């Protein structure tokens, strides 16, 4: 099995602000595994907030290339070879793709899952001024769900701006670890009054224990605090949802295992993604098929149409083509 890896840049149509900074684009890493005439591909998006970079991830993948060349590395072996992060994600997804194409079976067959034609997905509004927030919300009247990024200077005003335009659209907020416990407890009643159904990652991941003091006016979702199954014990009783992202789980194999284990523990499931092309959105769509909340609107915001890959029509994401992945 021959492994090759390279990085590429994916830009956004316009800069996107969240609590930890503004993103105009990111470098992603693409992997190819070739066995005879069959090629499996995977993609990951290393991010600074997790202490990862594209160059370091390329080096991490190149370091294990000789093991793939010698053979014997399958998805099960890979789980013990690399930790739950971006490098393993790209390799794991490439192995899924390779197995599907080599066997003539779809990834859905391999995973034992139904293949929905489309899945309802949210649309995200980044941190903007209240006036800009209202203007963007006015373009999203057909959206099935809105995700509003908070953690800026005018959180309440932006919340009210959305509800002034979209009073009935299902709405949740994502803080990206931008609040303190005191601020969360002050904000939560306001969010409940605005019929916000979930708050995603209000505190820093190292502060999960502080949530024992949360007044629980609105359910919480763990994003940065939940990477793989090893995190679940720490999250029980503090969060109601977990956000499953391939770059955190280290690939589709652990993502599906995490989904099953989290459901057993009583969590509701969300899936999201980092920045990526359709090559990253396709396995995320597989995860989305078992989730309650789906946040896969990246195809709407990438600058290059060729990177979109998986179609989002403003209400739903649509099933990827087999020639893309899986």
Helix (H, G, I), strand (E, B) or coil at 108: helix
Residue 8 known to be catalytic? no
Catalytic residue among 2, 13, 101, 149: 149
Beta bridge partners of 316: 120
| Region of residue 72 (left: phi > 0; alpha: psi -120 to 50; beta: else) | left
Q: What Å distances lie between residue 254 and 107, 243, 266, 277, CA to CA?
A: 15, 13, 18, 21
Residue 149 known to be catalytic? yes
**Cα torsion at 34, 307, 17, 26 (round to 10°)?**
40
Inter-residue contact 43 to 28 (CB < 8 Å): yes
Distance between CA 54 and CA 49 in Å, rounded? Answer: 13
Distance between CA 117 and CA 103 in Å, rounded? Answer: 22
Which residue, chain included where needed, has tokens 């969590």? 267
- Dihedral sign for Cα 252, 269, 321, 304, please: negative
Number of other CB atoms surrounding residue 160 within 10 Å: 16
Inter-residue contact 42 to 90 (CB < 8 Å): yes
Here the tokens at position 255 are 């993502």
Nearest Cα residue to 85 out of 34, 39, 49? 49
Catalytic residue among 101, 147, 245, 248: 245
Buried residues in 44-81 as b, exposed as e (16+ CB within 10 A): bbbbeeeebbbeebbebbeebbeebeeeebebeebbee
Catalytic (active-site) positions: 149, 245
């Amino acid at each position: 099995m021959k492994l090759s890896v390279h990085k590429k840049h994916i830009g956004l149509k316009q800069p996107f602000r969240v609590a930890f900074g503004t993103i105009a684009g990111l470098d992603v890493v693409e992997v190819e595994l070739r066995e005879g005439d069959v090629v499996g591909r995977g993609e990951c998006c290393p991010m600074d907030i997790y202490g990862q970079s594209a160059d370091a991830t390329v080096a991490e993948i190149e370091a294990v290339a000789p093991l793939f060349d010698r053979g014997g590395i399958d998805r099960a072996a890979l789980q013990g070879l690399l930790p739950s992060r971006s490098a393993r994600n790209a390799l794991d997804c490439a192995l899924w793709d390779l197995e599907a194409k080599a066997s003539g079976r779809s990834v859905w067959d391999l995973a034992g899952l139904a293949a929905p034609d489309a899945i309802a997905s949210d649309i995200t509004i980044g941190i903007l001024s209240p006036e800009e927030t209202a203007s963007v919300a006015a373009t999203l009247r057909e959206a099935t769900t809105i995700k509003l990024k908070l953690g800026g200077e005018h959180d309440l005003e932006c919340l009210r701006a959305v509800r002034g335009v979209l009073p009935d659209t299902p709405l949740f907020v994502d803080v990206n670890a931008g609040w303190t416990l005191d601020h969360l407890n002050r904000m939560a009643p306001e969010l409940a009054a605005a019929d916000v159904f979930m708050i995603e990652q209000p505190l820093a991941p190292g502060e999960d224990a502080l949530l024992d003091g949360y007044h629980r006016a609105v359910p919480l979702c763990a994003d940065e605090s939940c990477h793989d199954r090893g995190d679940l014990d720490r999250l029980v009783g503090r969060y109601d949802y977990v956000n499953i992202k391939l770059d955190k789980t280290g690939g589709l194999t652990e993502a599906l295992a995490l989904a099953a284990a989290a459901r057993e523990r009583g969590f509701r499931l969300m899936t999201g993604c980092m920045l990526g092309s359709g090559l990253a959105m396709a396995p995320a769509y597989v995860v989305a098929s078992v989730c309650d909340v789906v946040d896969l609107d990246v195809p709407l915001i990438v600058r290059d149409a060729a990177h979109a890959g998986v179609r989002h029509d403003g209400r739903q994401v649509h099933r990827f083509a087999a020639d893309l992945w899986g």
